[in-house]
Chain A
């Protein structure tokens, strides 16, 4: 195992070396770093050109420029990386440190969300293969996949940004809007849930009625400006979750699982009040929130193990998921509490540019809301494309698994459909997906180039584009090195995960 990892690492370094050499030569030949000076009308332009030639070593052959760069990078081996300087004399290492955080925030969130959404839709479409839902989802997935990012971004800015902000000044739904949403819900939900024609009709009618009542209600509560959940609603939703998840993962007959989930909900309600004042101004910001989350999971595991009886594993799984979702609702409740005041500070919450508002200061919730609202548009755009890939891959890999002999055997044994789908089919279909996730993460860093440009984020992508357009190698090389390293690293992780998921591939 170790020799395998070592071998992979060594080959990774060789790959990175080759890639860096290739990219370096391509970059320095990609344009003219003196272009702007050649068209300048300043009277000392010759002097300026000479200055830049000296500064960027333009008079030296490519191999010696590469060598200068490489010897700076070689310092990494002894802990003193030198990424070089860009043409304005700025240290590229510091630029990377600055830009990596915003790019990673963007890419990480987009990846996580698209994995969740993509896999869920993939499973649903696979289960309902060749249904109208399957066709509709396929249509939209391909549509999103083929959208040019910069164009989609312009549309998103217009609809989700400018129009939403305008609407938010006096947020009201018209009856036409309410009717449209209700109609869409009445068609979509029965398609997902499925069942006999009568059942579908019934679900559709219920959905229609629900939306027709809920939306005017929210409207009259001025929910868009003063949203709230409150402990009662959270508990109610929590109980719903406990029942739903139990039904989905182990069946309602398994009482010990249901009771452990309900216990978790009860404990959640207690902790809602216990942490309420602590969370008004959480010390350490996200640190304490993550800490509380870890405690929540630990408690949920404990509850599942003690109350689960013979179904410990399922009880733990259901408790943990219930607890996590409950925690998310509590967090959402706190964000909603901060929302009205936040709107006073930032009347147009969805901005079209930047990763945070300049000079914005407020408490933890307000600052997080600011960063969050800035993230919505770019994350959505970045997600559109990768959700498409995840959905398609999950679907086909699920279908492949479902048609295997062991699934037929399981069904023949009388195993219920839920267990067949989640335990036998889904787990096996995860194996090829691991590879996709690994590729996708590195790919998204590259894909973020356009998104960053369009949304005015100063991420890695921006560094890359600016560097390339000036034929300024150092920033481009830093980008190449980091995305390259990420690609290699995630592939390695994927290979190792394979071994965990599939006992047959042990090295």
Chain B
């Protein structure tokens, strides 16, 4: 077995050498570009996921995409599944269609100004275009779309597309009932940028001016839908559409909005007419068997470097069935449930499949109830509870069997695979709760005359892992004098459930990280919608307001350290661990890399290629 791994490593080296020696003219460029990215402020050097035996045509240098411009499209098909939830629509920007499962398809169809790296960090996509901050006050960003970037129907991608992109996120554009014209997924863009993208609608350069600096400015503008299709379908000229948006002529915009909201919706299994669904990315929609599979094929009009494989087939299969489907060759790449069993099954197949193991951008935590109950006004009791929670034991018993590299999470605003994690933790957390201290907890409880305090731990059940977590806590904290009650129930989060009524002391659940800098504001600031426990700390509120308007990464990190210090000091809650993630891929397919970001293993699908 060892011999095999060794030979795999040799093979990688050999492939790398081949690639380097094989394309001398491109070689220099490769190096230059690689240096540029590694000098940039974005991203770390190590993936959140490791995959022993994985082959690459070009070895990645950081957590962004490697340069694979030397790939030629191979007439081949790769089947992949990330779950049974089906694709919905080409139009993935409405609340009904926006989901991970739709995005993993749609993001292959549209290129944009950037993408998420494997550690959930935003990388600019320099092939598509560039952006830079041109003024700090007012905060202004200039975007330039690449000269040759165009839709697959030949229309160049222009500022007009990005004007429409702003329009759908602008809640100021309302219909006669005072409801937003566009049924869009987000309204942040319209709130932050009042005038929309400025520039010649037929040109390639536009600027956007923020009302105040914005921490997540980089990810605000990404890919756009085809404005020329929307214009044509609503019987307008493209410049008429742009003018209508800029003048907020809602009456003129109504047909365009109507098409934007409904025009791309079709019944499952059918795509809209081909001229309605041009793409800017390496793939286009090809074939959809409702409920079973969806195929995307290489976009022959693609302006960028060619994708590695002609056809990618998404199969909508329950993740419990993935391993056998992999083994039988029905799937080539799959993301089964991250459990000990699946891990064992994938390990058994290691001669033919690569096991990608690591961490997802989802993390588990215990949050206190600050509205009422024992912990709401007693920092001492919260401390005592934190002292008796066996975090390392929970990770060792429940997570390490799935991900041997797992460790206890010691921060909230940065996850353990992120590059700045170590620094943030070292400056905000002193290791106070690394060791279980039942004695210490008991002393506090006795001093507070609180021995026997009932602690109801609520979570959305049934969830065996959380039940086990509560059991571990129970074993340790009951000894310290708490009385832990497992309050897991199906309607914990539901209206009328324990979270809403406040019938819990500690909530156990997970947040799905988005990669945004200020998403924590909703959780930790006073009276915010996701601040379920009713936590309030003026310093934290101020810091988040400050963070939201800071665009410099170093300053952001300083503020985050401040926030973490406060949250540890107050014991908002106790972070536990980052969720493990497992994927399997056929060993003959090169360049497969799993990622913590929401596009999952699909994120670099255009780089996949089967070795001949």
Contact = CB atoms under 8 A, between A and B. Distances in A.
Interface of A: 31-32, 34-35, 38-49, 51-52, 55, 87-91, 94-95, 98-99, 102, 154, 157-158, 161-162, 165, 348, 350-356, 358-359, 453-459, 462-463, 466
A456 B316 contact: yes
B268 A95 contact: yes
Interface stretch (B388-396, B422-430, B518-526): B518-526
A358 B522 contact: no
B356 interface: no
Contact of B185 (A32, A48, A354): A48
B26 interface: no
Contacts of A40: 511-512, 514
A35 B522 CA distance: 17
A31 B84 contact: no
A199 B293 CA distance: 56
Contacts of B493: 32, 34-35, 38-39
Contacts, number: 170
Contacts of B287: 358-359
A281 B243 CA distance: 58
Nearest to A33: B494
Given A157-B324, A454-B318, A41 B293 contact: no
A353 B325 contact: yes
B328 A161 contact: yes
B435 interface: no
Contact of B325 (A352, A356, A463): A352
A86 to B, nearest CB: 9
A32 B77 CA distance: 38
A44 B325 contact: no
A91 B290 CA distance: 13
Contact of A456 (B84, B497, B519): B84
B79 A358 contact: yes
Contacts of A459: 291
Contacts of B519: 41-43
Interface in B304-327: 311, 313, 315-318, 320-321, 324-325, 327
A198 to B, nearest CB: 48
B95 A55 contact: yes
Interface string B321-341: 100110111110000000000
Given A40-B511, A89-B94, 9 more contacts: A41-B511, A48-B95, A55-B95, A98-B291, A353-B321, A358-B293, A458-B86, A459-B291, A466-B85
B95 A45 contact: no
B138 interface: no
Given A43-B521, A48-B185, A90-B88, A354 B514 contact: no
Nearest to B101: A88
Contact of B510 (A39, A98, A454): A39
A353 B317 contact: yes
A351 B330 contact: yes
Contacts of A51: 95, 183
Contact of A44 (B188, B291, B313): B188
A52 B94 CA distance: 11
B96 A87 contact: yes
Nearest to B523: A41
A436 B599 CA distance: 49
Contact of B313 (A55, A355, A358, A453): A358
The CB with the most chain A CB atoms within 10 A, among B96, B186, B460, is that of: B96
A358 B289 contact: yes
Interface in B272-297: 287, 289-293, 295
A376 to B, nearest CB: 13
Contacts of A466: 84-85
B267 A91 contact: yes
B326 to A, nearest CB: 9
16 contacts: A32-B493, A35-B494, A39-B493, A39-B510, A40-B514, A43-B516, A51-B183, A91-B267, A94-B268, A98-B269, A161-B324, A165-B328, A352-B321, A353-B331, A358-B287, A454-B321
Interface string B484-507: 000000110111010000000000
Interface in B73-128: 77, 79, 84-86, 88, 94-97, 99
Contacts of B522: 41, 43, 45-46
Nearest to B95: A51
Interface of B: 77, 79, 84-86, 88, 94-97, 99, 183, 185-188, 216, 265, 267-269, 287, 289-293, 295, 311, 313, 315-318, 320-321, 324-325, 327-331, 460, 490-491, 493-495, 497, 509-514, 516, 518-523, 529-530
Contacts of A44: 185-188
B339 to A, nearest CB: 15
Contacts of B290: 95, 98-99, 458
B324 A98 contact: no
B406 to A, nearest CB: 20
A38 B499 CA distance: 11
A355 B514 contact: no
A59 to B, nearest CB: 10
B315 A90 contact: no
A463 B84 CA distance: 11
Contacts of A462: 84, 291
A65 to B, nearest CB: 14
Nearest to A458: B291
A114 B397 CA distance: 47
A98 B268 contact: yes
A48 B292 CA distance: 28
Given A55-B96, A359-B311, A454-B318, A39 B511 contact: yes
Nearest 10 A/B pairs, CB to CB: A458-B291, A94-B267, A32-B494, A358-B293, A89-B96, A456-B317, A51-B95, A98-B290, A46-B529, A41-B511
B366 to A, nearest CB: 14
A267 B289 CA distance: 42
A155 to B, nearest CB: 10
A348 B329 contact: yes
Contacts of A46: 522, 529
A378 to B, nearest CB: 12
Contacts of B187: 44, 47
B514 A43 contact: yes
Contacts of B313: 358-359
Given A40-B512, A89-B265, A458 B316 contact: yes
Contacts of B491: 31-32
Contacts of A34: 493
Given A31-B494, A55-B95, A154 B324 contact: yes
Nearest to B490: A31
A117 to B, nearest CB: 26
Nearest to B509: A39
Nearest to B510: A39
A352 B79 CA distance: 13
A31 B216 CA distance: 34
Contacts of B513: 41
A310 B285 CA distance: 67
B544 to A, nearest CB: 11
Residue of B327, B328, B510, B522 with most partner-chain A CB within 10 A: B328
Contacts of A455: 321
A455 B77 CA distance: 21
A165 B320 CA distance: 21
Nearest to B262: A89
A330 B318 CA distance: 38
Nearest to B102: A88
Point out which of A38, A55, A351, A463 has the most chain B C-beta atoms below 10 A from its C-beta: A38
A453 B512 CA distance: 26
Contacts of A348: 328-330
B91 to A, nearest CB: 10
B529 A45 contact: yes
Contacts of A55: 95-96
A89 B509 CA distance: 29
Given A39-B509, A52-B95, A354-B293, A47 B318 contact: no
Nearest to B491: A32
Contacts of A48: 95, 185
